[in-house]
Structure 1
């Protein structure tokens, strides 16, 4: 189980949103590269980064901040937000991003996911962000008619490295992960699933280490780290002990 610290980028700064609402952004660090360096020093193994402006614009908007992070830390990074064509995918992976996350395009252009996964084995993930069980797209501004499980099953044979599943209703509000919904998706597909949205405390980390969560590949934590609700050393020690 990998615990991914999250850096969400808005206008070049490290922020956290509530329910994905850009109007409810709290700035936690004006220097995302320094934040990434801090996470690396704390012992985290893998970084989760989202270009929020890119998710709305449909193209990378915080490339300078991502480049700075790549130049600052050695730990691998998975990156999502505004990744909707092969040129962008190729470009980020060539720059050193370990894994790209395709969200909106997974709904609107599933062939892009398949082609990208074929060209870049092990380096393409699908982001499934659900509101009331239905997948949201375009920076969560629109809700589709497809369920999380239906979307996940579309890519069973595509060679996708992981699915990052976010329950939008839990995102940024520290109510705990939607483990039931996440595990339902993990049971429906063979692709490794990473939980996101709502991780709030060390108790949530302990829940992730219970036998029923053994299928999950990891979880993403954001606001709880920035607020100090989760002590990185304690959380990482728990995970290491279970390994």
Structure 2
């Protein structure tokens, strides 16, 4: 179980949204690279970054901020937002991104995901962002008629490294992860699933280390870290203890 701290980028700054609403952005740090360094110092081993402007524009919009992060940290960085063609994927991987996340394009062009995963084994993830169980696209501005499970099943044999599942209703509002829906997706597909959206407290971490969540590959936390609701040391210690216990 990997705990990913999240950096969401809007106009070059580190922000958090409420349920994907770009008009409800709170700036937490004007220096995303410094924020990434802080997470690394706190003991986090992986980083989740989203180019929010890119998700709406359909192309990278915060490249300078992302490159600044890559220059300052050694931990693997997974990046989503505006990644909709192979040349963009290759450019980011070439600049040091560990794994790219394809969201909107996974709904519109499944063959693109398959081609990307084949060309870059282990380095392509699919972002499934759901509203009431149905996949949202274009920075969550639109909802498709495709269920999260049906989308995940499309890529069972594609070589996708992970699926990042976000319950939009929970995102940024600190209501807790939607464990039930996340586990249902993990049961429906063989691809490793990462939980996202709503992680609010150490109670969520304690829930994630229960036996039924062992099938999950990780979880993403954002606002709760920035607001101080989760102590990084305590959260990482809980996960470390659970990992050590499972190996004993």
Report the TM range for the smaller structure's normalisation.
over 0.9
Deviation, structure 1 residue 200: 0.2
Distance 1:203 1:170 in 2: 15
Alignment of 1:116-155 (within 5 A): 116-155=116-155
Q: Which runs of 5+ in 2 are unaligned?
A: 244-248
Alignment of 1:49-198 (within 5 A): 49-198=49-198
Distance 2:119 2:85 in 1: 13
CA RMSD in angstroms, aligned pairs only:
0.3
Alignment of 1:214-229 (within 5 A): 214-229=214-229
1:231 aligns with 2:231: yes
4+ residue runs over 2 A deviation: none
Report the 3-state secondary structure (helix = DSSP H, G, I; strand = E; otherwise coil) of the residue aligned with 1:49: strand
Deviation, structure 1 residue 29: 0.1
Distance 1:229 1:57 in 2: 32
Q: What is the TM-score of this pair, normalised by structure 1?
A: 1.00
1:10 aligns with: 10
Q: What is the TM-score of this pair, normalised by structure 2?
A: 0.98
Distance 1:103 1:110 in 2: 10
Deviation, structure 1 residue 241: 0.7
Deviation, structure 1 residue 177: 0.2
Distance 1:217 1:21 in 2: 27
Distance 2:194 2:45 in 1: 15
1:106-159, Cα deviation, whole Å (9 max, x unpaired):
000111100000000000000000000000000000100000000000000000
